[in-house]
Amino acid sequence: MSGPRHNDMRTPMRRVRGLGAAHSGTADFWHMRVTSAAGVLLTIALVVIVISLLGRSHAAVVQILGSPIVAVIMLLFIVNSIYHMWIGMQEIILDYVHEDKLKFLSLMANTFFCFAVGLASCFAILKLSFGV
């Protein structure tokens, strides 16, 4: 058992400092609420857009996805969802992965995945819009 050592000059505060909460948990909580509220509206919009594009030719899909209003809604959906799922997966990892190396590797992989998928999707929309 590692009780207080009497020859230790350090205070108990010094020993626990850096081992506690990061004090940023409420920001994640709030950002999750903001992105879920926005997500309700944006998901409905996405479903409407996808249904209206079902079975259409490539040329028609390109034209509609690239039109300003649809493109902006798609960009909002992508950015909002990616941020939402970034925090969400981080929460899952922190809940289940306790071994340090694996934990930080998973958190890093989560960030890489979200940035890659998000950027690729946004780039596609912008390319469709600007038609280069």
Partner 1 sequence: MAELEAGATGARRPRPISPHLQIYRPMLTMTMSIVHRITGAGLYFGMLLLAWWLIAAAAGPNAYANFEWFMGSLIGRLVLLGFTWALMHHLLGGIRHLVWDLGYGFQPAEREMLAVATIVGSIALTLLVWVIGYFAMGGLR
Q: Where does this chain bind partner 1 (CB under 8 A)? A: 1, 3, 33, 36-37, 39-40, 43, 47, 51-52, 54-55, 58-59, 61-62, 65, 74, 78, 81-82, 85, 88-89, 92, 113, 117, 120-121, 123-125, 127-128
Positive/negative CA dihedral, 81, 84, 90, 96:
negative
Tokens representing 17 are: 């400092």
**Kindly report the CA angle at 10 between 21 and 5, in degrees rounded to 5?**
105
Instruction: State the virtual CA torsion across 105, 108, 113, 116 in degrees, nearest 10.
Output: -140
Indicate the residue among 17 and 126 with the shorter CB distance to partner 1.
126
Quick check: 118 and 78 in contact, CB under 8 A? yes
Smallest separation, CB 116 to partner 1 (Å)? 9
Indicate the residue among 89 and 107 with the shorter CB distance to partner 1.
89
Smallest separation, CB 69 to partner 1 (Å)? 16
Indicate the residue among 61 and 107 with the shorter CB distance to partner 1.
61
